[in-house]
Amino acid sequence: MGGVPVGRRNLFSDRRRAVLGIAGVGVALLMVLMLAAIVNGAMRQVTRYIDTSPADVFVAQRGVTNMHMASSAVPLADLTRIRALPGVAWAEPILYLPDALATAGGRQVAYVVGYVPGQPGGPVSLVRGRAPGPGQVVIDQRVAGSLGLKVGDSVRLLARTWRISGLASGLTNLANTVAFVRFTDLAAARNLSGITSYILAGARGDPARLAHRITAATGLSALTRAQFSAQERALVQDMSAQLLQIMNLAGYLIGLAVIALTLYAATLSRLREAGVMKALGARPVRLANVVLSQALWTVGAALAAALGLTFALAVVLGRTAGNVPVVLDPGSVARVAAGAIVLAALGALAPLVRVWRVDPMTVFRR
Amino acid sequence: MGTQVPVAWRNILAERRRLAIAVLGAGLAVALILLLEGLWSGLLTQISAYPDHVRATFFVRQPGAKTLSEGVVPVSAAGRVRAVPGVAAAGPVLTRWVVLDLHGRKQVVTVVGFTPGSLGGPWALAAGRTVGADGEVVIDRTLAAEHAITLGGTLGVTGRSFRVVGLSSGTRSFMGTGYLFMSLHSAQAMFGAENTATFVLVRAAGPVAVRAAIAGRTGLSVASPDLVAAAEQNLYAGIMGKIFNLMVVIAFAAGTLIVALTVYSAISDRLGEYGIAKALGARRGRLFRIVAGQTTVLSGLALIAGLLLYLGGSRLITALWPQFQIELTFRALGVVTVAALLMGMLAALVPTRRVARLDPASVYRR
Amino acid sequence: MDDIEVRARALTKTFGQGEVQVQAVRGIDLEVRRGEVVLIMGASGSGKTTLLSMLGAMLRPTSGRVEVDGVDLATLPESKLPEFRTRRFGFVFQDFNLLSALSAEENVEFALNLSGVTGRRARERAGRLLDGLGLAGRRRFRPDKLSGGEKQRVAIARALANEPAVILADEPTANLDSKIGHEIARLLRRIASEERRSVVIVSHDARLKEIADRVLWMEDGQFRSLSEMAADPVCGMAVEREGTPHYRHDGQTYYFCSPACRDEFAASPSRFLAPAAGLSAPG
């Protein structure tokens, strides 16, 4: 543009006021961003096991498309049938049941995965120790930390005592954690025979076609890893959707109030100057620019501040609260940015009209 | 102090529109805090609905089990419990999480499989009757309404079809969970869990003695419903507590900033008067009190506005989304009153600084 | 091509309707030449400001015509007026009316932006204008850090930014002390003479008579014939000869705006009798 940035100058002429306004909007945007980041973080955690699995296809009981907060029971006989299908590189069963890790130091709800040792389904990488032998369990290092456990210690699970053989990472989230034991151990602990929860399969060729083939042959629910992961994310999303909507609305409304306040105060206290500009020959567009640029600068700075705070909070929460994964994704940032721009436009509306209506004759007022 | 309050009132009330926006904005923040507190109370109530309402004296379950869906007991345990003198009735119940797919949206429910005619079924029916046989379900009425599920209609659960014979009330939480009732056999078949249950519900007279007897005879743990309720609440408190607290803090910050911004603007517009006050010898303490007078007035108005907004808002929310339970507790009112007071104090800081640094002479330099 | 920059014919402005109708300006005729300084004096409420607004294309007359630089303002649509104002007029106000968040330089730049000059060109021109008015060292300062005289000079620089044909000044010296007021007055004179611009000043300030080519008295929306008016020797105001306080001294009758001025004069007449006080404009 090359012209004098009157709007920006006006906004920052009173630094304290500018900061208050920006902080106010920033806090509102922070709320929206934090919520998005928390939900996103939760989604990531919940799908961690699936996303890092070597399996191409996940097979579950008919009508079941989730692991988290779901129950699935598949007859082991189907395992044999699946192994015999063309396009199956391998197939292994996993048991998946909710329970709780308990020590004198505390308690943590956990999904217990029973897998066949040496086969896919167990922890993808261990940060410490080894895969579980008979009567042994691998837990996530974060939960180990919060319960004060290390490799070699004992922990109660499924009404039995297990020895910790190793620690995995990245499997603890807000709600629960994942622990690994041997398939046979888990089946025995729960008195299950001839049954598994899920079957993992590796595909020789296109996983999607294999999934179809499995369903056709067995009537079971079969999804590719990507599809299965998407289902898990959808679950987290659907569970939190309405609450999130309410909170977001509140956040945006508060942000709108602050913007309106900031702009209103700024334009009102400078109504005479708007008159001066008009008298000098400024056209409506130029006047609109002044107001709009103030609005955009305010939300822009607020968004930047909110983003910075979100990252900072993520680090702080990561260190202290531990199990609240806060991860911002570009999609959320884009959405909040768009929301912020809408806020700016809405908040600028009334002040804009006021400025447009200013009678340039006010410049003669004594 | 007598002459100061009118000054505070006059200043604030001078700009009606600005006052309105500020009261609305800060009021929103206050309303949000109330809403969060209300949701929290409501959530805790909803989550422990089953143990709170199911008419049972004890939950008999696997030692170490804490929350509702933890643990496994053989169905035969129910018989042993029934044999204990003082036990009026005992019924095995199987609970498992299941993800329902309703119109493309995922809904987690706790399937409650109980013996029709015995303990453990729905405690309040809005329509229809309780489960009488295999293949029947009772679903929460708000869930049914949301997805156009009618009495006599069918519901698909993990690939099986059930007939809806009753609609229950008070069986859903807004965190995306709820209870779905069916017969024990149906549940066992669905989960491949023949002969197992999660706990045995007991009705007995003379609780203390019977409790010891049951524990002794069966080797299982005996818990009062209060304990189970508390465990359910703790589980969620751990998960959601931090997030709620974070949101309350953010809302508080937003409210404070709005009040600060408004009072700051009001003061900036009348800097002359403060200059006079200073020239006449008003010291920092006095100035702070004048400023704090304004911020307190504003916070007070915000508190009232917040209450009204909350009452309207919570009614609107529960009308739109009946699964939301929002309870106004004295604690919440107390929290929000303290918050408003604090807001008033904190918000006075920045404007006071502005006035404190004011050079009385400079205000009149043209 | 004649020399007349501003031409007003039968200019009238009526405010309100029916019973509360007020005629602020009544049938005014005015011609201002290039390089001429016209001073319009009169009491508050005489309609001076309304007249100035109409001349400056800020107010539409109820009837009559205004022609500036050959252009009849009535032919311009509302949307074209702002641009016309930018390019044809320079405004100077009593309250300076600088944009408080901008530096002196930026205030002048802003006016240039309005006519399409931006960036470095605008900045350089603004700098030159300010330098020319003795404000070289004050370019970066915001209005709250400038003295009254400096602010008015910035306002004048702003008024000159787009090379206007006409400068319209509303009480340009009212908020300035005597010495500075003189300087500003002389500045306006120079602008008219050296740069051949028309300068129309509306003011109470009798000191401005010194620099004016013509002095017009406005009362109740009309120009009054100069010969009808007398000057109050104490405060300089133009007053009618009828019905006003007067005092005879040394064979001459003097007319005053108020009993206070008359009494002051009566206490010490020689104080107020300066040689060659008169109403007629310098030749």
Domain ranges of chain C: 4-224, 229-272
Contact B183, B115 (CB under 8 A): yes
| C45 touching A (Cβ < 8 Å) | no
List of chain C residues whose C-beta atoms are within 8 Å of the C-beta of residue A366: 94-95
Quick check: A273 and C49 CB within 8 A? Answer: no
Quick check: C83 and A281 CB within 8 A? Answer: yes
Residue in chain B closest to C97 (alpha carbons) equals: B366
CA B154 – CA B148 distance, rounded (Å): 11
What distance in Å separates residue A293's CA from the closest CA in chain C? Answer: 14
Is B218 in the same domain as B245?
A: no
For residue C208, the 8-state DSSP code is: G
| Residue-level pLDDT at C277 | 45
Of B223, B250, B268, the residue that ends a domain is B223
In the stretch 290-319 of chain B, residues with CB closer than 8 A to chain A read: 317
Is B184 in the same domain as B327?
A: no
List of chain B residues whose C-beta atoms are within 8 Å of the C-beta of residue A191: 72, 74, 196
List of chain A residues whose C-beta atoms are within 8 Å of the C-beta of residue C125: none
Q: Was domain C229-272 assigned CATH 2.30.170?
A: yes
Is B191 in the same domain as B244?
A: no
What distance in Å separates residue C173's CA from the closest CA in chain B? Answer: 14
In the stretch 173-212 of chain C, residues with CB closer than 8 A to chain B read: 175
Radius of gyration of chain B (CA): 29
What distance in Å separates residue C165's CA from the closest CA in chain A? Answer: 14
Quick check: A361 and C53 CB within 8 A? Answer: yes
Residue A364 confidence (pLDDT) above 60: yes
Residue in chain B closest to A187 (alpha carbons) equals: B193
List of chain C residues whose C-beta atoms are within 8 Å of the C-beta of residue B366: 148, 175
List of chain A residues whose C-beta atoms are within 8 Å of the C-beta of residue B107: 238
Residue in chain C closest to A9 (alpha carbons) equals: C101
| B97 touching A (Cβ < 8 Å) | yes
Name the phi and psi angles at A7, rounded to 5: -60, -50
CA C85 – CA C87 distance, rounded (Å): 6
DSSP string of B94-123? EEEEEEEEETTEEEEEEEEEE-TTSTTS-S
List of chain A residues whose C-beta atoms are within 8 Å of the C-beta of residue B39: 243
| C175 touching A (Cβ < 8 Å) | no
Which of B28, B70, B257 lies closest to A100 in CB terms? B70
Which of C79, C100, C118 lies closest to A3 in CB terms? C118
Chains touching B (at least 3 CB pairs under 8 A) are A, C
CA A60 – CA A219 distance, rounded (Å): 10
Which of B70, B101, B192 lies closest to A195 in CB terms? B192
Residue in chain C closest to B364 (alpha carbons) equals: C144
CATH of C4-224, picked from 3.40.50.300, 3.30.450.40, 3.30.420.40, 3.30.390.10, is: 3.40.50.300
Quick check: A69 and B70 CB within 8 A? Answer: no
**Count of positions (residues) in chain C:** 283
In the stretch 347-366 of chain B, residues with CB closer than 8 A to chain C read: 365-366
Is B75 in the same domain as B138?
A: yes
Is B283 in the same domain as B183?
A: no
- Burial of B279: CB neighbours in 10 Å, binned 0-12, 13-18, 19+: middle
List of chain A residues whose C-beta atoms are within 8 Å of the C-beta of residue B324: 242
Per-residue 3-state assignment (H helix, E strand, C coil) for chain A: CCCCCHHHHHHHHCHHHHHHHHHHHHHHHHHHHHHHHHHHHHHHHHCHHHHCCCCCEEEECCCCCCCCCCCCCEECHHHHHHHCCCCEEEEEEEEEEEEEEEECCEEEEEEEEEECCCCCCCCCCEEEECCCCCCEEEEEHHHHHHHCCCCCCEEEECCEEEEEEEEECCCCCCCCEEEEEEHHHHHHHCCCCCEECEEEEEECCCHHHHHHHHHHHHCCEEEEHHHHHHHHHHHHHHHHHHHHHHHHHHHHHHHHHHHHHHHHHHHHCCHHHHHHHHHHCCCHHHHHHHHHHHHHHHHHHHHHHHHHHHHHHHHHHHHHCCCCCCCCCHHHHHHHHHHHHHHHHHHHHHHHHHHHCCCHHHHHCC
Quick check: B365 and C175 CB within 8 A? Answer: no
Task: Let me know if residue B299 belongs to a domain.
Answer: yes
| B103 touching C (Cβ < 8 Å) | no
List of chain A residues whose C-beta atoms are within 8 Å of the C-beta of residue C84: 281
Task: Let me know if residue B53 belongs to a domain.
Answer: no
Of B72, B22, B77, nearest in space to B297 by CA: B22
Residue in chain C closest to A283 (alpha carbons) equals: C82
Contact B260, B347 (CB under 8 A): yes
CA A1 – CA C118 distance, rounded (Å): 8
Quick check: B257 and A20 CB within 8 A? Answer: yes
H-only helix segments in C61-118: 81-88, 104-114
| Residue-level pLDDT at C227 | 54
Residue A138 confidence (pLDDT) above 80: yes
| Residue-level pLDDT at C10 | 92
Is B206 in the same domain as B83?
A: yes
Quick check: B268 and A63 CB within 8 A? Answer: no
Interface size between B and C, measured as CB pairs under 8 A: 3
| Residue-level pLDDT at C147 | 92
Residue with tokens 């009981």: A61
CA A130 – CA A57 distance, rounded (Å): 26
Chains touching C (at least 3 CB pairs under 8 A) are A, B
Widest CA span in chain B:
97
Which of A270, A282, A360 lies closest to C58 in CB terms? A360
List of chain C residues whose C-beta atoms are within 8 Å of the C-beta of residue A286: 114
Is B144 in the same domain as B111?
A: yes
Residue in chain B closest to A14 (alpha carbons) equals: B268
| C101 touching A (Cβ < 8 Å) | yes
CA C122 – CA C106 distance, rounded (Å): 9
State the CB neighbour count (10 A cutoff) for residue A204: 12
Low-confidence ranges of chain C (pLDDT < 50): 276-283
Residue in chain B closest to A317 (alpha carbons) equals: B242
Residue C238 belongs to what H/E stretch? strand C238-240
Contact B46, B325 (CB under 8 A): yes
Is B16 in the same domain as B125?
A: no
Of B192, B223, B254, the residue that ends a domain is B223
State the CB neighbour count (10 A cutoff) for residue B190: 23
Quick check: A10 and C111 CB within 8 A? Answer: no
CA A303 – CA A30 distance, rounded (Å): 8
| A311 touching B (Cβ < 8 Å) | no
| A261 touching B (Cβ < 8 Å) | yes
Of B297, B58, B53, nearest in space to B200 by CA: B58
Q: How far apart are the first and last CA of chain A?
A: 34
CA C259 – CA C263 distance, rounded (Å): 6
Of B159, B191, B223, the residue that ends a domain is B223
In the stretch 34-73 of chain A, residues with CB closer than 8 A to chain B read: 34-35, 38, 61-66, 69-73
Is B259 in the same domain as B305?
A: yes
List of chain A residues whose C-beta atoms are within 8 Å of the C-beta of residue B37: none
Quick check: C82 and A283 CB within 8 A? Answer: yes
Q: Residue B42's domain spans which residues?
A: 4-47+235-364
Which of A231, A242, A264 lies closest to B21 in CB terms? A264
Mean pLDDT for each consecutive 10-residue tract of chain B (366 residues)? 54 76 88 90 90 92 88 91 91 94 89 95 94 95 90 91 95 86 95 91 85 90 93 81 86 89 80 72 76 86 93 91 87 90 86 78 55
State pLDDT tens for residues C81-93: 899 999 999 999 9
What distance in Å separates residue C94's CA from the closest CA in chain B? Answer: 12
